[in-house]
């Protein structure tokens, strides 16, 4: 039987819907309903039913089953397996606490120096210095307290301080001067009262407390212990010395705070004497060394001005008192009448006689002196005013002792008598009183010991004080 073309056309139209039900509706080669080349019903190229390109069923671009973009199995955005946003393996969201810096002048009032009302506090016995930005004259029993300090997460206290003689400590206590002891700093000399360094100590405290700093030096209740700039709580780190951002460049490995001095072998021998006349030093006319007015304030100029011993405005600064660096080393300044000596030169002195024998001192030449040729006339408060006397004008006629030899000569070497004369002459003049204590302590009340000497490079602890 012949089928007409019209019949064939009708048959094709009738069969067409059935054929369509077995042909994919998309343009890919799989049998799902999307246009990708995989076997699922979404529009990506993987085999799951979500809209990303990985093999899991969530909507992110990683291979785990959570909804974040990392490759772990939790729902946060870090790469660990817990549910918090930090990088450790626990389930909390902890982070290291920010350091808490406390400007110590806040103990004198919230508007002092750099305090800016950060902490309220109180103090006993201390004095503000450097434009109210630091605290000095810190002696045994003095305190500084700061309220509402949160110790949580902090186990380290960094202390920025300056110190001349050794001895004493700074206790960190909680809530009162007699409260729980959280830590102790035993500061070593930094090289001068304006030579700052930073040291870390461990702290054992948590929660909110009043932080109380207590100065302690029971064996010498009148000696200054240290000056303070700031303290800072943090969550730990390597103990550091001289690592502060303002540390002077001189404090490097090539010029440490405490130099290692070999004993002098077969050097020349010289005598020593002592003096303190308050006059403008000879080198004040020939260098840019630091000089002071009648109240011991640094002068920005004065090189060409007359000495206070001759009615002028320039005097010797009290900072030129000797500095104890360690049990066996001190720094100081001297007059030296020697053809090879120039202003600013430094000499190593190895003491060869008297109680101080075996110790060393580095002195810088700032005066010519009248102790005789090849003799070091050491600057020691109470050592005698010598040929000139500016101290009566500067200090107001205190007891000065013998013109040559000072308090030691007047007291025939008696320690108690010398100490009492120092107290009567200097009172609250801490730097001068410390010079007296140095003479009785480190120098062991020695009377003009002999030395072996040689010229050396000046350490930073000396040049930072003198400026030359």
The residue length of the chain stands at 468
Q: Are 100-234 and 269-466 in the same CATH fold?
A: no
Q: Give pLDDT, residue 198.
A: 93
pLDDT at position 344: 92
Q: Which CATH superfamily is domain 100-234 in?
A: Galactose-binding domain-like (2.60.120.260)
Q: What is the DSSP string of 202-225?
A: E----SEEEEEEEEE-TT-TTS--
Beta bridge partners of 158: 200, 232
Residue 22: band (very low, low, confident or very high) from pLDDT cuts 50, 70, 90: very low
Which residues, other chains included, contact 240 with Cβ-Cβ below 8 Å and sequence gap of 6+? 158, 198, 199, 200
Q: How confident is the model at residue 273 (pLDDT cuts 50, 70, 90)?
A: very high
CB 174 within 8 A of CB 154: no
pLDDT band at residue 355, thresholds of 50, 70 and 90?
very high
With 80 as the cut, is the pLDDT of residue 67 above it?
A: no
Q: What's residue 56's pLDDT?
A: 60
Q: Which residue has the higher pLDDT, 151 or 165?
A: 151
- The segment with the largest mean pLDDT, out of 103-117, 214-228, 410-424, is 410-424
Phi-psi region of 118 (alpha: psi -120 to 50; beta: other; left: phi over 0): alpha
Supply the pLDDT for residue 45.
Answer: 57
* Residue among 52, 58, 76, 277 flagged as catalytic: 277
At 193, give phi and psi (nearest 5°): -70, -10
pLDDT tens-digit map of 172-207: 999 888 889 999 999 999 888 888 999 999 999 999
Q: CA neighbours within 13 Å on the CB side: how many for 412? A: 0
Structure tokens at 418: 């010398």
- pLDDT category, 52, cuts 50, 70, 90? low
**Average pLDDT, rounded, for the chain:** 80
Q: Which of 65-69, 344-348, 424-428 has the highest mean pLDDT?
A: 344-348
Contact 73/65 with Cβ under 8 angstroms?
A: yes
- The answer to whether the CB of 247 falls within 8 A of the CB of 256 is no
> How many DSSP H helices and E strands does the chain contain?
6, 18
Torsion, CA 425, CA 426, CA 427, CA 432, rounded to 10: -150
Q: Would you state the structure tokens that stand for residue 388, as one six-digit string?
A: 């000139």
pLDDT in tens, 209-253: 989 999 998 776 677 899 999 999 998 643 343 444 443 433 333
pLDDT for residue 252: 36
Gap between the Cα atoms of 157 and 108, Å rounded: 21
Q: Rounded distance, CA 278 to CA 406, Å?
A: 13
C-alpha–C-alpha distance, residues 82 and 443, integer Å: 65
Please check whether residue 222 is in contact with residue 427, taking contact to mean a CB–CB distance below 8 angstroms. Answer: no
Share of the chain above pLDDT 70, in %: 72
Helices 415-426 and 430-440 sit at what angle, rounded to 10 degrees?
170
Whole-Å CA distances, 315 to 287, 304, 366, 375, 395: 15, 13, 13, 23, 11
Check residue 287 and give its pLDDT. Answer: 84
Name which residue leads in pLDDT, 301 or 278: 278
54: pLDDT strictly greater than 70: no
Q: Is the pLDDT of residue 144 over 90?
A: yes
377 is catalytic: yes
Question: 401: helix, coil or strand?
Answer: coil
Domain residue ranges in the chain: 100-234, 269-466
Domain at 269-466: CATH architecture: Beta Barrel (2.40)
Residue 357, pLDDT > 90, answer: yes
Q: How far is CA 236 from CA 95, 201, 268, 273, 388, in A?
A: 14, 9, 51, 49, 55
The whole-number pLDDT of residue 26 equals: 47
> Does residue 340 have an active-site annotation?
no
pTM of the prediction? 0.50
325 has a pLDDT exceeding 60: yes
Residue 417: DSSP 8-state: H
**Please, which pLDDT band fits residue 60 given cuts at 50, 70 and 90?**
low
Q: Looking at residue 64, what DSSP letter applies? A: S
Averaged pLDDT, 362-369: 88
**Higher local confidence (pLDDT), 80 or 424:** 424
pLDDT at residue number 250: 38
- Above pLDDT 90, what percent of the chain? 39
Burial-class residue 448 by CB neighbours within 10 Å (0-12, 13-18, 19+). Answer: middle
Cβ atoms 94, 86 nearer than 8 A: yes
Statement: residue 382 has pLDDT above 90 = yes
Task: Tell me the C-alpha to C-alpha distance, in Å, between residue 168 and each of 164, 196, 202, 220, 323.
Answer: 11, 17, 18, 8, 15
Torsion angles phi and psi, residue 379, rounded to 5: -80, 110
Say which residue, 430 or 187, is predicted with more confidence. Answer: 187
- How deeply is 348 buried, as exposed, middle or buried, from its count of CB atoms within 10 A (0-12, 13-18, 19+)? buried
Residue of higher predicted confidence among 254 and 14: 14
At residue 125, the pLDDT reads 87
pLDDT of res. 43: 57
β-pairing, 134-138 with 226-234? antiparallel
Name the catalytic one among 58, 142, 377, 437.
377
Q: How far apart are CA 202 and CA 224, in angstroms?
A: 24
d(CA 458, CA 443): 21
Mean pLDDT of 432-441: 90
Question: Which is more confidently placed, 79 or 180?
Answer: 180
Residue 32 CB: number of other CB atoms within 10 A? 18
Q: What is the pLDDT at residue 386?
A: 85
Question: 30 vs 226, which has greater pLDDT?
Answer: 226
More confident residue, 405 or 6: 405
């Amino acid at each position: 039987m012949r089928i007409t073309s019209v019949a064939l056309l009708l048959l094709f139209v009738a069969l067409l819907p059935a054929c369509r039900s077995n042909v994919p509706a998309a343009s890919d080669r799989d049998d799902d309903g999307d246009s990708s080349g995989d076997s699922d019903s979404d529009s990506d190229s993987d085999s799951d039913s979500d809209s990303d390109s990985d093999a899991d069923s969530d909507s992110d671009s990683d291979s785990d089953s959570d909804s974040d973009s990392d490759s772990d199995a939790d729902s946060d955005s870090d790469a660990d397996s817990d549910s918090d946003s930090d990088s450790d393996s626990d389930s909390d969201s902890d982070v290291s606490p920010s350091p808490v810096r406390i400007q110590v002048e806040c103990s004198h009032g919230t508007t002092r120096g750099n305090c800016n009302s950060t902490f309220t506090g109180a103090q006993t016995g201390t004095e503000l210095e450097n434009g109210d930005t630091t605290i000095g004259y810190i002696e045994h029993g003095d305190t500084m307290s700061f309220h509402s300090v949160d110790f949580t997460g902090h186990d380290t206290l960094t202390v920025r301080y300056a110190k001349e003689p050794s001895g004493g400590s700074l206790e960190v206590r909680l809530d009162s001067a007699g409260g729980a002891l959280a830590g102790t700093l035993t500061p070593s000399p930094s090289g001068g009262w304006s030579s700052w360094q930073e040291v870390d100590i461990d702290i054992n405290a948590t929660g909110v407390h009043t932080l109380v700093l207590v100065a302690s030096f029971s064996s010498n209740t009148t000696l200054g212990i240290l000056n303070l700039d700031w303290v800072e709580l943090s969550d730990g780190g390597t103990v550091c010395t001289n690592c502060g951002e303002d540390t002077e460049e001189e404090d490097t490995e090539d010029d440490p705070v405490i130099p290692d001095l070999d004993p002098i072998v077969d050097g020349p021998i010289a005598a020593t004497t002592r003096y303190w006349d308050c006059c403008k030093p000879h080198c004040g006319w020939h260098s840019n060394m630091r000089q002071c007015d009648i109240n011991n304030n640094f002068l920005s100029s004065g090189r060409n001005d007359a000495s206070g011993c001759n009615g002028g405005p320039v005097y010797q600064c009290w900072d030129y008192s000797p500095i104890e660096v360690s049990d066996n080393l001190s720094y100081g300044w001297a007059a030296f009448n020697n053809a090879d000596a120039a202003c600013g030169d430094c000499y190593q002195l190895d003491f060869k006689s008297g109680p101080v024998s075996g110790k060393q001192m580095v002195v810088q030449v700032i005066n010519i002196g009248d102790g005789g040729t090849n003799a070091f006339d050491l600057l020691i408060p109470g050592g005698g005013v010598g040929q000139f006397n500016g101290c009566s004008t500067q200090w107001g006629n205190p007891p000065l002792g013998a013109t040559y030899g000072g308090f030691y000569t007047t007291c025939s070497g008696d320690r108690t008598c010398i100490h009492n004369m120092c107290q009567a002459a200097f009172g609250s003049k801490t730097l001068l009183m410390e010079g007296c204590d140095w003479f009785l302590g480190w120098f062991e009340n020695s009377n003009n010991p002999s030395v072996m000497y040689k010229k050396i490079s000046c350490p930073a602890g000396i040049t930072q004080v003198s400026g030359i």
